[in-house]
Amino acid sequence: MNSNELSVVMNQVASDAELAQTPLHHAQLEQLAAHTQTDDAGILLGERGLTGQLVLRIRGDLADASRAVESVLGLSLPDRLSFHGDPTDANGCALTWLSPDEWRLCCPIDRAFELEKALRNELSTIPGVTHAIVNNSGGFTLIDLSGRDALNLLKKSTGYDVRPHRFPIGKAVGTTFAKTSITLLRVGENQWQIWARRSFADYLWLWLQPTSRDYGLHILKE
């Protein structure tokens, strides 16, 4: 990078992928994965690897903005409390509604820079639309939750209504989880994704272990 050239958009990925640590790196989940039983565990947990995470803020004509976003991502802007794309696909993109003018794009980490530039370019051409894009890839831990007792674990942790017919696949909400806040996505029949702030990752991990105890806990390999 030329140090004289200030750029708002910055490639934030190091060339050496080995330098990065996910928020739950210290929990050594890889080793735990080898020691937990699969047969009768009711809870399956895993931390996703490094994921590109861009916060999209858009105000104005959302229909126009959505077309612009779709031209870049192949995904339109999801309506309230929902997401588009498959958040479980490490090689794909998923776009999640967070608040009336806020979405989060999850993408492969090495595409974040390119997509940020493309989205900025597309969105700036639309009259009546203002936007901001923020790279927040380091700010969150992404946890995959599944298993026959996943619902029970959620019921022990959040007051949100997670009954399957009230929380269909494709829904996403920001809510409380124990004493922290999360974004919760239902990504499959019995599959969920939990996003929590990086600094709360250890607390979350400490919470998830005893809360899973009654059901049996198996750690998934990334």
Partner 1 sequence: MLSEHQIHIQQKRRLKTGGVIDRSRPIRFSFNGKPLQGYEGDTLASALLANGIDVVGRSFKYSRPRGIMTAGIDEPNAVLQVGSTPAMQTPNVRATEQMLYEGLVCSSVNGWPSANTDAMSVLGKVGGNVMGPGFYYKTFMFPSSFWMTYEAVIRKAAGLGRSPKVRDAETYDHMNHHADVVVVGAGPAGLCAALAAAHAGVDVMLLDYRNSAGGELIARASEQLIDGKPALEWVQAAWDELQKLPNVTVLMNTLVNGCHDHNFLTAVERLQDHIAPKHRTPTARQRMHKIRAGELVLATGAHERPLVFGNNDVPGCFTSGAIVSYVKQFAVAPGEQLVVSTNNDSGYESALAWHEAGKEVVAIVDSRQEVTGDAYVAALNAGLNIVTGCAVIEASGKKRVQGVKIAAINAAHTQASYQTQDLVCDTVATSGGYSPVVHLASHTGSRPVWDESALGFVPGTTHEARHFCGSLLGRHGLSECLKTGTQAGLAAAEAWCRSNNTSLQSTKPFNAPTAPEHNVTPTAALYLVPHPRTPTRAPKQFVDLQNDVTAAAIFTATREGFENIEHVKRYTALGFGTDQGKTGNINGLAIVAKALGKSIEETGTTTFRPNYAPVSFGVMAGAHVGPLFDPKRFTAMQQSHLDRQADFEDVGQWKRPWYFAVGNETMDEAVRRECQATRESVGILDASTLGKIDIQGADAREFLNRVYTNAWAKLAPGRCRYGLMCGEDGMVFDDGVTACLGENHFHMTTTSGGAARVLEWLEVYHQTDWPELDVFFTSVTDHWSTMTISGPNSRKLLAKVCDDIDLSAEAFKFMDWKPGTVAGVPARVFRISFTGELSYEINVPAHYGAHVWEALFAAGEVFNLTPYGTETMHVLRAEKGFIIVGQDTDGSVTPMDLDHGWAVNNNKPFSFIGKRGMAREDCVRANRKQLVGLRTKNPSVVLPEGAQAVELGVELEAPVPMIGHVTSSYYSMALDRSIALALIEGGIDRYGETIAFPLLDDRIVHAEICSPVFYDPNNDAQKG
Identify which range of 19-27, 32-40, 87-95, 182-190 contacts partner 1 by CB under 8 A: 19-27
Mapping DSSP onto H, E and C, the string for 176-219 reads EECCEEEEEEEEECCEEEEEEEHHHHHHHHHHHHHHHCCCCEEE
DSSP 70-106: HHHHS-PPP-TTBEEE-TT-TTS-EEEEEETTEEEEE
Secondary structure class of 145 (helix, strand, coil)? strand
Rg of the chain over CA atoms, in angstroms? 18
63 binds partner 1 (CB under 8 A): no
Nearer to partner 1, 36 or 136 (CB): 136
Of 32, 33, 55, 81, the one binding partner 1 by CB under 8 A: 55
Kindly tell me which of 91 and 128 has the beta carbon lying closer to partner 1: 128
Q: Are strands 51-60 and 172-177 parallel, antiparallel or unpaired?
A: unpaired
Any contact of residue 13 with partner 1 (CB under 8 A)? yes
Could you say which DSSP state residue 221 is in? P
Nearer to partner 1, 25 or 80 (CB): 25
Among the listed residues 76, 82, 191, 211, the single contact to partner 1 using CB under 8 A: 211
* Residues near partner 1 (CB under 8 A): 1-4, 6-8, 10-16, 19-23, 25-26, 50, 55, 57, 59, 101, 130-140, 152, 155-156, 158-161, 163, 166, 178-180, 197-200, 202-203, 206-207, 210-211, 213-214
